[in-house]
Structure 1
């Protein structure tokens, strides 16, 4: 598939223009949108077009008489081994021939020392066979030396120069020594192989028809290309999602009106702000009790006032299915024993092993079996020794140990977490860590009233009870909409209204009050507006 086809079919995000500027060399220019990550776009093009092509080959050869499929490295290694054997056998052959010639030359040298007697013996013999025996007997020549002497005509033998024999003998002895040194040294054998290959290259090489360039496409994942940084995920009731930089929101004093965050339709409003890392795996829990998974960096980044994209572009949701909870999944979920606590609108709690969410298929998995009319509203991570605190819209809350709820399978329905009053429903669930028993519980109502209350005021109970009052609910405050445990590490609160107004204020500026108080104004809302969600960082 071509780059243009990928852009036309909207499979390649982040590209706003494509043009061909080729002259003698090929030059393709791809214009990117401001939100695109160049490395990620290039990585996708490498993988899905012919910008980079792999030419695979299948090498089958006989190795010690057995057919084998070889890699490039192994066939090069076998070729070098073959060349070693060739050089070795050639050297052994040359050595054998040189030693034979040396032996003959030694015999000729001795014959020259007594040339007159040698000629006399030859002439006095009735035939060559007798001459051979006589020479071997009188001069102690070997058969090879004797044959070499007899094969020469007497005239040539008599005219043989001693100097020529001695020079050739010296050359042969030098060659024999060099050949023996070569055969005894693997390093010298490799040097011979290298020299011969260079000779072949110089004799037969032609110009390279392709270019070797540095770099090329490395096998890297998209995650390797994305900076690991803090980010805020914004999600609306209409199903629009985007990522923004936390610095987009400047801190304000408590009671401020806030700044516009998101271009939403009148009937749409922001429901969730999730703080996390760009490398987090995100678990999306829906009202139907299903779970989906994707990377945080796969959500497009936008400025504060941009709309975002529909979640339907990323998740295969049914028409009646809506995301009700988003959980940034830390790496610990894949490395250590950890559980997930799910809570429904009607107060049902269910604990599950984190192993169940290691790899969530694209079509999603069932996280909890729901009763008719119930919905999943919360999902969070818990560890051994943690406590869970559940808050309702009517101002009730209950704190119980996570061990009160046993782990269940994905299709189980769960157990009662809190007993609800008439028209009451769960609006918030959070974890009290072992090291945070002296922290605070932050609550906020739909009309912008909020407070911090010491966790010491919430005694640990058995799950399933009605709990204790956590906030005084009046027409002025409206029902509770958010409840969150503060660990002490958070410094600021980011709250968002249904009409997209946002305020960022220091947590130290929010009053610490008792459980049965209504709180103070955190965000001054315009007429007809309500609090949608908040996040602390």
Structure 2
């Protein structure tokens, strides 16, 4: 016997550690953590399902104790802890964990509140019909390979003959050594359609498959925001999918108490613990990290989930809901990592490669099943042929058997005389006497003929690939008819994706912002043109202490820039502004933008593209003006971007889009205007955090109320008119010559009077001058409300402080000189006054047709004038 010293084998520590760790890592990767791409199962799940199949626990059989199943799996196939097996069994029975549960559980199998399941000695289980139909069907037909179990006493399947892409259907998650997998569940009907499409069109692209499989379909429903993460996952195998619960804002009626607004949550993101989420919300409310919540309770029952979050009276529901999305698990991400085993090796697969792996496996399964059925049919027909030979020589065969000394000699004589095989001779000797009747003989002949046809059909299937694909399509159709169900998860548009914008009609809309911070969007088409001097229609349901502050027209694809009095700019797409009817008040703008309470929106501007040729011209109430490149505002952060530096007590008031060849027209409340160029001599470009220069010299008690931009061609016309002596400071009211074809300066007073004045009547001056008179007021208490540049074909939309809107054609307004008093544009009630004026440019198609004749892109956003 060797001594202990002789049994010591010297080895290099580095090599031993490397080899041992590699063996351990591969054991975990292949034997525990990663699913097989063919049937989508890990070994523990596969062993549980196969053990239940062997126990006969099908969907039409009685339930059996889970402890019995766990014991079967442990004793025969899975030499690990019983907790691991039972946990895997429980998860396959949870309808909130599996998109299509594989096990039918009876008893307490846990809940979405993370309650633990009952002990295995109490719960019962059996297979779902889906498991028998799609995973275990044909397993006895030699469709898959079997291998020895851990002690060699049993055989277990290496993979199950899955008829559905189970890996995508129910997903999978697992952490191996140095790698992990996280695959989301999908809708069964969509997956079946995708596989059928791949069969019919093998060269189909992933983008085309995404039309059939738009994204994951989680068992708990919820929403998915955007498609970019889904696209990345399906293209590359990795991506991040943003999940969001379903929440609605409702008004709860309370007896004896005022009605309260409440947020009702009916669906949660996948794998979100409901009780844990409620507890976290309560903690954040107590710690004052969430404002506006007065009570939270869980009203879920057997009919569905219902979490009620009651709000305080002064809370904005949309703001609270946005904070819940941002700070709680009501919105979280699912990191997709579609890693699985292909031929025993871990591979990262996109959508199409994963379906191709499944389809190849399904073709192999059908082929092996057909070969098995062919062999069985041939073996049976071989026996039947022996029967037919015996029946054809019945008397001689009976005499031979009776004369034989024993069974071996009779078998040998049958083989020698009639050329039978050993199997056929044994079958004849074991044949019962009743099979010798004429009726039984006919049955044998009929069965033989049927088997011959069956063998020919099976051989044809093996010879032609298209026959195998037809079988796969037929079986998939049967599964879809039996197990398909509607999609549960809704894929919502992500506001920042261009692909989603292309799905939104680019129509002309009006955006309205009130003094108290309410905003809404309305189609311009909902306001028909009216004649001059009418009262108009309601454009917003206004409170007595509220008034319209800003009013613009644009297109739904445009960027809408909001500028606050403190010089900060925020951005939204026009289609992101909630649409409302003419009589709707709108939604608080603080629900759309993170505007501090002390800030007020003072200017709204629509921008189609952030080009290098365009500039933003900003004018403050204190009279400072500056020009900054529009490209500096192309990436506005969520919390805003500084647009201008202000002196103490000053406020940003007007912002317009211009080019260096354009000019500025600025008006004051007392009816004075100044017109100067926007070139670098008069207004050099400055960066964002700068103050600007003086724009206009005002009289005592006067203040700025308006700014608009004149395009370069108009500027040239004014220069030529000035040189020819046409532009003057004349007070002659009839002097309105030279302005029949536009453009014009539209002058509107607060009392509803207005006129068009040829731009040639406003000569160019140097910046910081006193300016020229734009209108003569009929009443001493009247004031200038709007000063806009308009063109032929434009339409006008006026809105009063009370929310009355009228739409008019520019051509209906008379052309007058600067000192003229104007004509009545809108009849006003009582102390109502014009609050804002917007120009509606021609439709988008008309603008495109006339693109060559346009000299300025400023018509994408209409001018806003309001006090």
TM range (shorter): 0.5 to 0.7
Summarize the Cα distance change of 1:301–1:9 in structure 2 as closer, same or farther, 3 Å threshold.
Answer: closer
Displacement after TM superposition at 1:476 (Å): 4.7
Q: Give SS of 2:502's match.
A: helix
Partners of 2:797 and 2:806 within 8 A in 1: yes
Give the TM-score, by structure 1 length: 0.64
Question: Which residue of 2 is the match for residue 505 of structure 1?
Answer: 808
CA distance in 2 between partners of 1:278 and 1:534 (Å): 20
The partner residue of 1:409 within 656, 672, 687 is 687
Q: Is 2:568 the counterpart of 1:265? A: no
Following TM superposition, by how much is the alpha carbon of 1:432 offset from its aligned partner in structure 2, in angstroms? 0.7
**Mapping for residues 7-46 of structure 1, pairs under 5 Å:** 7-8=247-248
2:525 maps to which of 247, 251, 256: 247
Listed as ranges, the gaps of 5+ residues in structure 2 are: 1-219, 224-244, 251-262, 268-303, 306-324, 360-461, 495-499, 718-741, 841-867
1:345 to 621, 630, 650: 621
Q: C-alpha separation between the residues in 2 aligned to 1:212 and 1:198?
A: 24
* Distance change >3 Å, CA 446–CA 219, structure 1 → 2: closer
The alpha carbon displacement at 1:200 in A equals 13
Instruction: Determine if the alignment matches structure 1 residue 6 to structure 2 residue 287.
Output: no
Partner deviation per Cα, 1:126-177 (whole Å, 9 max, x = no partner): xxxxxxxxxxxxxxxxxxxxxxxxxxxxxxxxxxxxxxxxxxxxxxxxxxxx
How many Å separate the matches in 1 of 2:492 and 2:546? 42
**Structure 1, residues 497-534: CA drift from partner, whole Å, max 9, x if none?**
11122222222221211112222222221111111011
Matches within 5 A, 1:331-410: 332-333=609-610, 335-403=611-679, 404-410=682-688
Q: Determine which of 744, 753, 759 is the counterpart of 1:455.
A: 759
Report how many residues are paired: 395
Q: Residue 493 of structure 1 contacts residue 506 of structure 1 at CA under 8 Å; is this kept in 2?
A: yes
Aligned position for 2:832: 529
| CA-CA distance at 1:372 after TM superposition | 2.0
Structure 1 residue 314, shift from structure 2 partner? 0.7
1:225 is paired with a residue whose SS is: coil
Which structure 1 segments of 5+ residues have no match?
A: 20-26, 29-43, 81-190
Q: 1:481 aligns with which of 773, 785, 788?
A: 785
SS of residue matched to 2:635: coil
What is the deviation of 1:56? 3.3
RMSD: 4.3
CA distance in 2, matches of 1:72, 1:278: 34
Between 1 and 2, higher relative CO (CA 8 Å, sep ≥ 6) is seen in 1
- Counterpart residue number, 2:317: none
Q: 1:464 to 1:302 in 2, by over 3 A?
A: same
Pick aligned residue for 2:338 from 37, 54, 57: 57
Distance in 1 separating the partners of 2:803 and 2:352:
61
CA contact (8 A) 1:446 1:477 kept: no
The answer on 1:274 being equivalent to 2:555 is: no
Change (3 A) 1:233 1:16: farther
Q: Could you tell me how far 1:451 is from its partner in structure 2?
A: 1.2
- 1:398 alignment partner, SS class: strand
Q: TM-score, normalised by structure 2?
A: 0.41
Q: Return closer, same or farther for 1:414/1:67 CA change in 2, 3 Å cut-off.
A: same
Contact 1:448 1:521 in 2 (8 A): yes
Q: How far is 1:213 from its partner?
A: 10
Residues of 2 paired with 1:67 and 1:302: CA distance?
Answer: 53
**Which of the two has higher C-alpha Rg?**
1
Classify 1:62/1:498 alpha carbon distance in 2 versus 1 (closer, same or farther; 3 Å): same
Distance 1:199-1:365 versus aligned 2 partners, 3 A rule = closer
Shift of 1:439: 1.4
